[in-house]
Structure 1
């Protein structure tokens, strides 16, 4: 079996402020693994990623599943005819159990050599990276020319109901607000970051998933088993008041319940893909190189600057 394509560790720009407590995140994920993780959202993303990859008629000899918290993506891609060896890289040994070949690696400091990989995939992990531009740049450098990066992120509109319920509850019970739901990036931000990292042919799209629960506490239990508790560095360090929690549940039920009494929770999954540049890829035409006028293509009359203002006059 091939060895993992290791390279030089990346040195992060420490001038960038951190948003997430990565050490706490690892503890929360380890606890979720012990409790038995709630897999429905991750399995949906993994199956969707496998379907998207199936439309790419390419051979990827060396691929990496980067940071996916469970083996959902590895299972979804097992036996994929276009993948040779699929390595797994995740920050916790617990997340690598049963997945081989595998390496313990943080998403913010990838150990892969330049041009060592043909494919990097990731499901619902990279939204909690502090230095996302740096991670994208590392993925770009690790890919060979015409290599593919395909990933799913939790998007910025996720859990808007929970955010609103806690905003109201904290304002009423404590007289102030504390950060509770992570400021996830939106689809336009991620598309711009792909271009900034040097990816060619970047594509982004959004999938919104609405899940229904018997009560807001069911949602909170699932988030705990996803390892998705509050890991913001600016979070309030005092324990959550019981009065605040109960009021948040009341507000949630009042504003976001269906006629049958069940409550809704919205998850936004942002998809992105980009290719390491290669001469074989399609290139945009140079300005002025078109062989047909737009007016001719549209079968209409072209108006000059002197006549444009005369439209609609008699």
Structure 2
């Protein structure tokens, strides 16, 4: 079987992260983690955190790098947080499976990653500018999944009670140059394995900045940058978890539970 090409240039990603100094999106995710754990109403005593920025997350629990092979001990954790780095995984399902095996039965898994609407403004302007200036397209922005397909990854990885939801944060910048500079400070610069290995013509970025300003700027001249963060939640399977009832085994009619009158189906909609 042919091995699929790698998505991420791991050494380039690590170099980008080493230069990172801006963590406001990780702060947003950290706040989301806290809120969601409060809702779970359970005390976790053996957490593990998968992250590309251990210095930011280390005070919440032991951290491991988001390598292709995670340094997680099987059945050692009652909580695993995958902290805003799954979008860089060469094998996201493999990462999820490794996390599930590292959880104790009925352990909780929470992952945050960028979704498909992230930086849609910048992506469209860069693509249009590159076609106009260079006559072609090159890999510049990480391909990011949609919420429905990402939720399906949890089921493929064997998690019970899978849930996928998302939130958006819109950040306004002075111009596209300011945004691209901020992305480098976040450690989220281009680390695609298929990226160009020579400098891009400045005219491409200049034209993209012009298009961004024309298409998206607000009355004050600032431009919006959308960040969609998807949260994947699942549980390691356990016999103690609720199971769906067999069809026909309900002990109470739905109409009784809702305190409403049950209306018979019209003849043309009845089976048989």
Q: Is the TM value for this pair above 0.5?
A: yes
Match of 1:100 in 2: none
217, 230, 239: which one pairs with 1:270? 230
Extract structure 1 runs of 4+ deviating beyond 3 A.
Answer: 70-75, 292-298
How many angstroms does 1:56 deviate by? 1.9
How many angstroms does 1:170 deviate by? 0.6
1:135 aligns with 2:95: yes
TM (norm. structure 1) is 0.80
50, 64, 74: which one pairs with 1:89? 64
Match of 2:36 in 1: 52
57, 72, 79: which one pairs with 1:73? 57
Give deviations 1:7-32, integer Å, cap 9, x for gaps.
xxxxxx98343211112111111132
Match of 1:97 in 2: none
2: distance between equivalents of 1:116 and 1:228? Answer: 31
Contact map agreement 1:149 1:273 (CA 8 A) in 2:
yes
Contact map agreement 2:49 2:64 (CA 8 A) in 1:
yes
Match of 1:30 in 2: 18
2: distance between equivalents of 1:52 and 1:295? Answer: 33
120, 144, 149: which one pairs with 2:80? 120
Match of 1:239 in 2: 199
1:14–1:24 distance in 2 versus 1, CA, 3 Å:
farther
127, 144, 151: which one pairs with 1:184? 144
Larger CA deviation: 134-143 vs 231-240:
231-240
Q: Which structure's relative contact order is higher, taking Cα pairs within 8 Å and 6+ residues apart?
A: 2
Secondary structure of the 2:16 match is helix
Secondary structure of the 2:106 match is strand
Structure 2, unmatched stretches of 5+, are none
How many angstroms does 1:295 deviate by? 5.8
2: distance between equivalents of 1:172 and 1:301? Answer: 61
Structure 1, unmatched stretches of 5+, are 1-12, 78-85, 91-105, 310-314
1: distance between equivalents of 2:54 and 2:2? Answer: 29
How many angstroms does 1:214 deviate by? 0.8
RMSD: 1.9
Q: Which aligned pairs between 1:199-238 and structure 2 lie closer than 5 A?
A: 199-238=159-198
132, 143, 146: which one pairs with 1:172? 132
1: distance between equivalents of 2:208 and 2:56? Answer: 32
1: distance between equivalents of 2:264 and 2:5? Answer: 52
